[in-house]
Structures are given as structure tokens and as C-alpha cells.
Amino acid sequence: MARILITSAIPYINGIKHLGNLVGSQLPADLYARYQRGRGNEVMFLCATDEHGTPAELAAAKAGKPVAEYCAEMWEVQNRLGQGFGLSFDHFGRSSSKQNHRLTQHFAGKLAEAGLIREVSEKQVFSNADKRFLPDRYIEGTCPNCGYDRARGDQCENCTKQLDPTDLIEPRSAISGSTDLEVRETKHLYLCQSQLKDRLDAWIDSKSDWPLLTTSIAKKWLHDGDGLQDRGITRDLDWGIPVKKGDEDWPGMEGKVFYVWFDAPIEYIACAGEWAEANGKTEADWQRWWRTDKGADDVRYVQFMGKDNVPFHTLSFPATILGSGEPWKLVDHLKSFNYLNYDGGQFSTSQGRGVFMDQALEILPADYWRWWLLSHAPESSDSEFTWENFQSSVNKDLADVLGNFVSRITKFCRSKFGEAVPEGGEFGPQEQALIEELTTRVRAYERHMEAMDVRKSAQELRAIWVAGNEYLQSAAPWATFKTDPDRAAAQVRLGLNLIRLYAVLSAPFIPFASARMLEAMRTEDASWPDDVATALQALPPGHTFTVPDVLFAKITDEERESWQARFAGGRS
């Protein structure tokens, strides 16, 4: 039995995520976790909310709530939506946890001991009205490039030009609106990533099985321009993890917190500590996943994330781990994704353009979305959600192929043999040919899933469903029954066992429908089909079943048109 540690990029706390966010990390990570559990492997699947930094403070201020209260409420929302989509985390934690506070401060102390942190004096905008330094995103003004009057101090959202706060015309505080700003000197800590460049380069070179997207982004940051730069790891903010060296205060860093991109990846590790505490486990129980001196040397660690997160997870977080000098587990495989665009444009949180997780679950069950998103995952390039494609995929794949098969075979059996697997007849050449085809396809499906080729896995799974449909159409037990009831009984027996097989194979993609199929077959046997011929005899003659309700309803043209208009822009 293998041991597999899985993490997906942790979603930011400021709001409900859209479907593009979901398919970029959490959903494919869940697919892989469910598959590995199905194969009998020991899995630890971790995720959390990313709760520190400027956007959290701004979102809380906009909501009129203390930032800690806002984050706690949004964690509940994101946790509930994750469960609604069937995300099977072993623990869904919070980067504001006491475990992450302690571990982040611990890493900072170890990096300081190793001489990998330096102090830098910087000039930063200070708001006299707010009595605080303002991060770049807290400063608004008019863009000198396009004249947009709500440009931020780091970038103009209108023309996308990168900016410094001092570039803005008539800059003002995003907190109070005050223009009483001045530039003052402040001190910050920098992680000396440049000193670790060669070690990071060699480590990335050793990952020959990483996707090209992952390695190309990492190499670009390592070698283009001036190469890997040292990175600031502190900020002048109130909300965050206080700057300390382990348990000790850090002279000159009073009132500062660690930068969110320093503490957020450390939450992957801290999350395991949260899991242990929540489940009555010991320190040894979580360390066996994360420390190679405590048993994690035989763990395979896989990360899932969108391409925008790759630099931090291939460079900054590994620099933290390597620089600490401690035996923490480094990622073995990093699966990165491109972007999912929306109906001719982009998803937009600010404009409410596209479908968000809460809205998706309001209009259709999770499996409809899971199937489309995973079967169209943006792996080799960006992909696009269109309502026409979504309707077509749901109707053809889920309703016409899988749902239709389950409905036809169960209803026919009930009408001719009752609600029990029929006796009589033997499998003939037609059934043996199907078993051989399914054996070949199941092994291919396993290879694609092991390789984390999400779209190829979906294509193979659909082909497995199609094979059953084609067999049923060709065997035509409704015709056979008229002349040879025993032969029809064997055909139906195979068909009912195919439902159980489909439930097991489909569970990583459509877990809710899978559970309904197993329930209809009145079995809890979800064992993986190591031998397809044996699996197709798992439900013996006499085993009772029920005819399930419609697994997947077709999407009508009227529904599609209504949703397309509703989600064109502006959340409702």
C-alpha cells in the first residue's frame, strides 16, 4: 500500500470562488485523492483557506466586520461549498491557525540561523489619517497611462500596466480615502532566495516527470533577466502572523507580520497538525507525512495548482524548506493547470461574470459540474466554458450514455425477472469480447489516472461507459428474451454487474452518482476491479436491487439560454 500526500492550492479568503478557481487545483486534486483511495492506498489530502494579507483586510472592511470574524465566516462558507462539490479533504484548515503561527515563526528562526534572511530599508507610503503604512494595494489613484481613476498602487486593473504607488496621480488611501500621504522609511526582512538558486535548479532538474508548464515557469524565474531575486517576507499590517524567530521577539520588527506568500504555503504542513488535533491524533501521526526523519521518506507528495501559483511552489516554498536545514518533505510531483475562461471572455470576480461555486450548486447537482470541468480541464492550454458545450456534454455523456444504460438495464430486468439479479445462462463469446475490451480500457484508465492526465482519464472512462451501451444494444436482451430467456438472463446479469463496475470506476469523477448507483445495486462493495471478469460477477444471482431515479436529467435549451443570460455579468 502506497502512502500519498496531496495538497491543492489554498483558496484566498475574500469571497466565493468561481468554477475556474475550482478546476485549477481543488477539483483535480480531489479526483486524484479519490482514485488513490479507491486503489487501496493511504491518502492524506489537505487544503485550507489563505487568510492573511491586504485583500482580507479590505474585504473585511467592506463587509463592516473585524477581519478575524470575517475570515471565520468565509471559512465556513468555503468549507460548506467544498463539501457541496464533494471535495474529500482529510482536513480543510486555516492559515490563521495557531499551528501555522507557530510553524511559520519556527521556519523564520531556522532561516535566520542559516544566514538566509537579511534586513532591508525601504521607502513606503504612510497614511497620516490611518496612522499606518499602506501596502501597494491599499493605495488608489488615477493611472498615468490610461487615466483610469481607480488604479491600485501595484497595477491598473483597466490597462494592466504595472505601477508603483508614486506613479499614481492624486493617490489616496483605499481605507479612508485620505490624500494625506507621505513616503517614509521602513525596514523589512528578505528571504535570500538567490543563495539557494543552484540547489533549486538542481532539484527542479531532477523532476523529469513534471509537466512542461511547471518546469518552464520555474526555469523562467530562475534564469530570465537578473535571475532569482531575494523576496520580502514581512509587511506593515495588523492582520497576520507576528514576526518572531521561533519563540523569540525579532528586534526592529515589532508590529510587523509575515508576508502572506511566506506563511501561506507553510499552512500545508501546519494543516496536518490541525488535522491531528481535530482527530485526537499525536504529533507523530502528522509528522509521518511531513518529516523524512519521522517516516515521510516513503511518502509521495503531489501538489495541484494553477499556473499563477507555480513560481511560489517551485521556488519560494522549496527555498523555505531547503533553507531551514531540516528534513521536511519536498514535493515529488507538481501538477499545474492553465486557465479556464468563460464564454468568450474571462471569469471576473469583481464584475460577477461567470458561474461561482454557490450559484452552480443552486441550479444543478455537483456531478454535472464535476464531469464537465474535469473532462475539459485546462491542462495543455487554456480552455473555455461555454453553455452550449456544457449542455452537449451533460446530455450526451451523462444522460444518454451512463444514465440511459443504468435506466434501461434495471427497468428491463424488473419487468422480466423482478428486482433481483437473474439466474440462468452462461457468458458467451459476446460477453467475453466485452470483458476483454473492458480489461484493456480499465488498465488504460488506471495509467492515465496515475499519470494525472485528467482529460485522457475522462475520455477513457466515457469509452468504458460506451462499451456497455454498445454491448446492450447489440445483445438486445429484450429481443433475446422472447426466444431464449436463459440467454437474456446472462445478458442482464452482466449488465447489472456493469452498473456496479461503473459506480466504482466513476467515483473519482462523479462521486454522488456513484453512491446512488451502489445504493440502487444494494451493495457497499466498491473494491477496485483488479480482474474485470471477477468484478462482473460481484453481484450473484438472487442479489436484489432497486431501480434508481433518473441519474442525470437533460439540460433543455430554455434552461441553457436562461443561465447564459443570468451569468453574463453581475452576481445575483
Domains, the chain = 3-115+197-220+261-337 (3.40.50.620), 117-191 (2.170.220.10), 391-535 (1.10.730.10)
192 belongs to an annotated ligand binding site: no
Q: What is the pLDDT of residue 48?
A: 98
- Return the beta strands (E) in 383-535 as ranges: 383-385
Element (H, E) at 334: strand 333-337
Are 383 and 522 in contact by the 8 Å Cβ rule? The answer is: no
143 belongs to an annotated ligand binding site: yes
340, 450, 505, 91 alpha-carbon torsion, rounded to 10°? -70
The type of residue at 260 is V
- pTM, to two decimals: 0.94
Tens of pLDDT, residues 428-445:
999 999 999 999 999 999
Q: What is the pLDDT of residue 132?
A: 86
| CA pair distance 301, 315, nearest whole angstrom | 16
Element (H, E) at 345: none
The type of residue at 69 is E
Q: What is the pLDDT of residue 572?
A: 45
Q: What is the pLDDT of residue 163?
A: 84
| CA pair distance 360, 251, nearest whole angstrom | 49
| CA pair distance 119, 355, nearest whole angstrom | 44
Q: What is the pLDDT of residue 570?
A: 53
| CA pair distance 102, 95, nearest whole angstrom | 11
Q: Using alpha carbons only, how large is the chain's radius of gyration in Å? A: 27
Query: Taking the chain (572 residues) in consecutive chunks of 10 residues, what is each chunk's mean pLDDT?
Result: 96 93 97 98 98 89 94 98 98 98 98 97 91 86 94 84 86 92 93 95 93 90 85 91 96 94 96 98 98 97 94 93 97 95 85 90 98 96 96 98 97 97 94 98 98 98 98 96 96 98 98 98 97 97 97 98 86 47
Q: What is the pLDDT of residue 133?
A: 87
Q: Is 340 helix (H, G, I), strand (E, B) or coil?
A: strand
271 belongs to an annotated ligand binding site: no
For 347-384, b/e burial (b = at least 16 CB within 10 A) is bebeebbbbbbebbbeebbbbbbbbbbbbbbbbeeebe
47 belongs to an annotated ligand binding site: no
Are 340 and 128 in contact by the 8 Å Cβ rule? The answer is: no
Element (H, E) at 156: none
156 belongs to an annotated ligand binding site: yes
Are 316 and 265 in contact by the 8 Å Cβ rule? The answer is: yes
